[in-house]
Amino acid sequence: MPRTQLAIVPTVMLHSPTLVFDKLHAYDDFVDFKTTQRDSWLMQVAGGVKASAQSTYQGWYKEFAQASSDAQVDLLLVASTEWRLVIGWATNPGIETGLTLNRLYGFPYLPGSAVKGLVHRVAELDLLEGANPLPPFGEASFTAAPSENLIASLQRCGLVRAIFGSLHVRRPDGSDLPPTPLEHLEAWKAALAAQEEPTPEWSSILARLQVLCGAENLGGVANFFDAVPEPQSLLHQAPLQPDVLTPHYSRYYKDLDRTRPTVNPEDRKEQGDVNPIRFLAVRPGLKFEFRIRVRMPRSLTDGPGLEQDGALGGRGGDAIRELLRGWLTRGLQEYGIGAKTAAGYGYLEPAAGPRLPRGVGPAPELDPIAYAATFLPPKLPMGILAQKVDEARTKLTKAQQAAVARRLSELYPDAVAAWRKQKKKPTAQERVAWLEAMTAPLGGSGEKP
């Protein structure tokens, strides 16, 4: 926008502070705008955000809360900024920085995609901690049975995949950080795939690893929504504050792009003047409300639905929300959100509620699908198969029984057919009746009973 027009921006335009912040810059006199005019311009934007919030936010928030309730969206957590926060740092090239503001009303918010990314990352890294951490691949003996710790850790991986839809966290190229859980899983999978004749138990583990490392996204059961300010906290004082970033040694860093640097980094006289960059940040103490919606898998007929149902292990919405609350709390307190977290920006403290311990995963009961794969391997003799089925009927939980019954129908249809023909053997008929009872929901609408 021409400088002459910028000088006469009417006050009423500040009722749309995001428009002023994102679009109205003095490009025809940019150097002067950055040095002498930007301070007053940023204060105008901050004042516009405050004025817009005082006049419009209460009404907007009332409609937002009602729409959230109608859509069965739950308030998961309320947390306040410990210091300043900057999100959307590189979204405004006209001023070399940026800040995410609501398009219509100008208040700051945290995009749901950023919240989900933080929680998902914390949940995956959490797999390396706790009582059953994912073991890194080493000199494992594939002649012995898989350890309970490995099976339990794969269950935890399946739970994270079911909640978020995938496992995806990797180290950047050339990073010296420790391997991520997905990289550990891929190492296990590669080693097992190289085995010529793995035992049935390890074959089941390999099948599980292929699912966990697969590219198919399940869609997840948790939807994350934008985190918006709590009304009283937003209206208590101006939500934005001016801040400054002051790069030093600008000539030296520019010179690094050349093949042969010419500026001596020790010669301060050649480094050029410091270059203060003024920007806006969210003030300390502003409370944000984090909302999610948990939608349980309903279909038990397709692959993703079966995988999610088994990985969740009978957990309901409340249990999943508690896991998400713990991961979100840890992420806000330990990792931060937005830009400049290494400088102390972007950390939030929950208003109430204890932090979930590290390494919290599934309940002690193993994932039914993973348990069934270990409990009922393929190619069992008929006599041993009958013993395993009788043990499942009397000693396993309902979720485990359902998983074993499904696996029995898939791997041993001939044995099931033989039992059906043994009309005069009560034990055979009891096995058939049990199998039909455990698999009955799959033959109907495809939904949970």
pLDDT at residue 282 is higher than 90: yes
Low-confidence winner among 10-19, 343-352, 373-382 (lowest mean pLDDT): 10-19
Q: What is the pLDDT of residue 367?
A: 59
Q: What is the pLDDT of residue 442?
A: 42
Low-confidence winner among 170-179, 256-265, 317-326 (lowest mean pLDDT): 256-265
Q: What is the DSSP letter of 346?
A: T
Q: Averaged over 15-20, what is the pLDDT?
A: 78
Q: Averaged over 275-281, what is the pLDDT?
A: 84
| Contact assessment for residue 317 and residue 102, using Cβ atoms and an 8 Å cutoff | no
Highest mean pLDDT among 85-89, 316-320, 354-358, 363-367: 85-89
Low-confidence winner among 46-55, 66-75, 436-445 (lowest mean pLDDT): 436-445
pLDDT per position as a tens digit, 120-133: 999 999 998 877 78
Beta bridge partners of 245: 277
Confidence class of residue 115 from pLDDT cuts 50, 70 and 90? very high
Strands 287-294 and 222-224 come out as: antiparallel
Low-confidence winner among 40-54, 281-295, 310-324, 370-384 (lowest mean pLDDT): 370-384
SS3 (DSSP) at 129: coil
Q: What is the pLDDT of residue 12?
A: 46
Q: Environment class of residue 47 by beta-carbon count within 10 Å: exposed (0-12), middle (13-18) or buried (19+)?
A: middle
What is the Cα–Cα distance from 404 to 391, expressed in whole angstroms? 11
Beta bridge partners of 288: 79, 229
pLDDT at residue 224 is higher than 60: yes
Q: What is the pLDDT of residue 266?
A: 59
| Contact assessment for residue 409 and residue 233, using Cβ atoms and an 8 Å cutoff | no
Q: Averaged over 268-272, what is the pLDDT?
A: 56
Highest mean pLDDT among 3-12, 106-115, 184-193, 380-389: 106-115
Quote the pTM value: 0.74
Average pLDDT, the chain: 81
Q: What is the pLDDT of residue 294?
A: 92
Confidence class of residue 448 from pLDDT cuts 50, 70 and 90? very low
Confidence class of residue 443 from pLDDT cuts 50, 70 and 90? very low
Confidence class of residue 251 from pLDDT cuts 50, 70 and 90? low
pLDDT per position as a tens digit, 400-418: 888 889 889 888 999 999 9
pLDDT at residue 255 is higher than 80: no
Length of the chain: 449
Q: What is the DSSP letter of 227?
A: B
Q: Environment class of residue 423 by beta-carbon count within 10 Å: exposed (0-12), middle (13-18) or buried (19+)?
A: exposed
pLDDT at residue 101 is higher than 80: yes
pLDDT at residue 213 is higher than 70: yes
What tokens does 409 get? 């129908």
Confidence class of residue 297 from pLDDT cuts 50, 70 and 90? confident
User: Among residues of the chain, what percentage have pLDDT more than 90?
Assistant: 35
Q: What is the pLDDT of residue 204?
A: 87
- Domain map of the chain by residue range? 72-367, 376-443
Confidence class of residue 327 from pLDDT cuts 50, 70 and 90? very high
Q: Averaged over 340-365, what is the pLDDT?
A: 70
What tokens does 321 get? 């929300």
pLDDT per position as a tens digit, 140-194: 667 778 888 888 889 899 999 999 999 999 998 888 888 999 999 999 999 888 8
Beta bridge partners of 281: 241
SS3 (DSSP) at 290: strand
Q: Averaged over 34-51, what is the pLDDT?
A: 79
Q: Environment class of residue 198 by beta-carbon count within 10 Å: exposed (0-12), middle (13-18) or buried (19+)?
A: middle
Q: What is the pLDDT of residue 28?
A: 47
Q: What is the pLDDT of residue 20?
A: 78
| Contact assessment for residue 236 and residue 335, using Cβ atoms and an 8 Å cutoff | no
What is the Cα–Cα distance from 332 to 260, expressed in whole angstroms? 42
Q: Averaged over 96-110, what is the pLDDT?
A: 90
Q: Averaged over 223-239, what is the pLDDT?
A: 93
What is the Cα–Cα distance from 157 to 169, expressed in whole angstroms? 12
Q: What is the pLDDT of residue 293?
A: 94
What are the C-alpha distances in Å from 243 to residues 85, 103, 199, 345?
11, 22, 62, 12
What is the Cα–Cα distance from 311 to 369, expressed in whole angstroms? 7
Q: What is the pLDDT of residue 284?
A: 94
Q: Residue 30: how many CB atoms within 10 A of its CB?
A: 14
